[in-house]
Amino acid sequence: MQPDWHGAEQVTSRHDPGQHDPPQHDPPQHDPPQQDTSLVAVLLEVERHVGSAGWDQPARLFALVSTARLITAEPALADRLGRPSATLAAGPDDHLTAVEQEHFVPTADLVEDLIRLSWPESVDGCAVAVERTFLPAGVDVELPDDPLGAAEVVAAHPDRRDVRVVVGVDRRGGRHGIARLRSNQQELLGGADLVPGLVEVLAHTLT
């Protein structure tokens, strides 16, 4: 898959340091490991960017690229990011910029959509933002074997929980996930193993 640099007006950039597995309610990570700081920072920007458009959105895909290398290759992007190219290019070596892939059209099977992707070496990582509905542990409900039928039952259940998950990986082995519950939008959950199945699929696209 060739990254779409022309979507850079929707890049989320800052210099601050499926049914898939339901998110685990790990406590927010305020002090991530140093090697993961750049990945966590760009995922926080992606979550804010996606969240600014509200809820009930399809899955959205982002390429994660070294900001310094991106500005060196595409100087005109600095103006679209609203910052001088020299300032952006001189930022931290591991600083990442997220570029939304606007041509990505997800189907009902997000995992299958992602498995088909392969990023070029110019892409340092990738991230996906997706909304999911799940039932909290302890809710007694019988789900049909059919995935679509099960999804309908969950969506109609009065105790359902809607969550936005942003998951990303990079070529250095970094992986992180961020989740925001619709019912408690002031709290942001995070962790490396937040959605392990989705993390593994994303990591596969970089190989």
Per-residue pLDDT tens digits for 132-153: 877 667 666 666 666 666 666 5
Residue 167 clears pLDDT 50, i.e. is over it: yes
| Terminal-to-terminal C-alpha distance of the chain | 12
**What confidence score (pLDDT) does residue 82 get?**
55
CB–CB of 177/195 below 8 Å?
Answer: yes
Q: Are 21 and 130 in contact (CB under 8 A)?
A: no
Beta bridge partners of 127: 62, 168
The percentage of the chain sitting over the pLDDT mark of 70, rounded to a whole number, equals 62
Task: Give how far Cα 87 sits from Cα of 14, 67, 145, 188, Å.
Answer: 12, 10, 54, 30
Q: Is the pLDDT score of 36 beyond 80?
A: no
How high is the pLDDT of residue 29? 42
The DSSP output letter for 26 is P
Q: How far apart are CA 190 and CA 188, in angstroms?
A: 7
CA angle 116, 152, 100 (to 5 degrees): 35
Residue 64: CB partners within 8 Å, gap ≥ 6? Answer: 39, 42, 96, 97, 98, 99, 123, 124, 125, 126, 127, 168, 170
Choose between 141 and 175: higher pLDDT.
Answer: 175
Q: Is the pLDDT of residue 43 over 60?
A: yes
Q: How far is CA 52 from the centre of its chain?
A: 14
pLDDT band of 90, cuts 50, 70, 90: very low
Q: What is the mean pLDDT of residues 82-86?
A: 49
pLDDT at position 71 over 50: yes
Lowest mean pLDDT among 9-13, 68-72, 77-81, 129-133: 9-13
pLDDT at 64: 96
Residue 17 has pLDDT above 70, yes or no: no
Other C-beta atoms lying within 10 Å of the C-beta of residue 142: 6
pTM for this predicted structure:
0.74
